[in-house]
Copies of this chain bind each other. A is one copy, B any other.
Amino acid sequence: MKERILEYLNKKHDYLSGDQISKHLGISRQGLWKHIQELKDLGYEIIAVPHLGYRLESCPDRLFAFEVLRNLHTKFIGKNIHYFDYLPSTMDSAMQLGMNAAQSGTLVLAESQVKGRGRLGRSWLSPKYKGIYLSLILRPRISPAACPVLTLMSAVSICEAVKEVTGLDVQIKWPNDIFIHHKKVAGILTEMNAEVDKVNFVVIGIGLNVNNDKSSLLPQATSLKAEHGDWINRVSLLQEILRKIESNYFLLEDRGAQEIIHKWRNFALTLGTRVKVYYQNKHIEGQATDIDQDGCLLIRKDSGLIQKVSSGDVIACR
Contact = CB atoms under 8 A, between A and B. Distances in A.
Interface string A166-206: 00000000000000000000000111111111101000000
- Copies in the assembly, this chain: 2
A92 B150 CA distance: 25
A227 B104 CA distance: 45
A99 B92 CA distance: 8
A189 B192 CA distance: 16
Contacts of A217: none
Contact of A145 (B95, B144, B150, B190): B144
Nearest to A92: B99
Chain A interface SS verdict (over half): mixed
Interface in A234-288: none
Contacts of A191: 193-195, 200
Contact of A197 (B96, B148, B195, B198): B148
Contact of A144 (B144, B150, B189, B295): B144
Given A92-B99, A96-B99, A99-B92, A143 B310 contact: yes
A192 B310 contact: no
A102 to B, nearest CB: 14
Contacts of A92: 99
A148 B190 CA distance: 20
Contact of A193 (B143, B147, B193, B197): B193
Contacts of A145: 144-145
A196 B192 contact: yes
A34 interface: no
A151 interface: yes
Nearest to A117: B195
25 contacts: A92-B99, A95-B99, A95-B193, A96-B99, A120-B195, A120-B198, A144-B145, A144-B147, A145-B145, A147-B196, A150-B196, A190-B195, A190-B196, A191-B193, A191-B194, A191-B195, A191-B200, A192-B195, A192-B196, A193-B193, A194-B194, A196-B311, A197-B310, A197-B311, A198-B311
Given A119-B195, A151-B196, A196-B295, 13 more contacts: A95-B193, A143-B310, A144-B144, A144-B147, A144-B194, A145-B145, A147-B196, A190-B196, A192-B194, A194-B194, A196-B311, A197-B311, A198-B311
